[in-house]
């Protein structure tokens, strides 16, 4: 029996707010893309992360950096099952 497998492409994006201290990634928070442009939306997350990691920030001696990233999954191609599994 010949069987073909399909990897279903994901047609969505995930926006995240990423917090770094120095070169270290500390935490990422998923964002609602439709609310990004609303005043105060990102600020709420940044404020909460700064409070949560207050001690770590003070130990490092430099402020936290934030980056908004839009992650788009890569579409995969159709592939056939290896002969060993047919």
Cα distances (angstroms) measured from residue 81 to each of 3, 6, 39 = 6, 10, 50
Domain positions in the chain are 4-85
- pLDDT (tens digit per residue) in 29-69: 999 989 999 999 999 999 999 999 999 999 999 999 999 99
The DSSP annotation for 17-51 comes to: EEEEETTEEEEEEEE-GGGTTSTTHHHHHHHHHHH
Region at 61 (left for phi over 0; alpha for psi -120 to 50; beta for the rest): left
- Judge contact between 81 and 4, C-beta under 8 A: yes
Residue 9: is its pLDDT beyond 80? no
């Amino acid at each position: 029996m010949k069987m073909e497998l399909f990897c279903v492409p994901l047609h969505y994006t995930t926006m995240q707010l990423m917090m770094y201290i120095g070169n270290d990634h500390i935490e990422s928070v998923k964002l609602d893309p439709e609310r990004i442009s609303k005043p105060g939306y990102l600020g709420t997350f940044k404020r909460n992360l700064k409070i949560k990691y207050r001690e770590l920030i003070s130990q490092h001696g430099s402020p936290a950096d934030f980056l908004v990233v839009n992650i788009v999954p890569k579409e995969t191609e159709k592939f056939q099952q290896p002969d060993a599994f047919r």
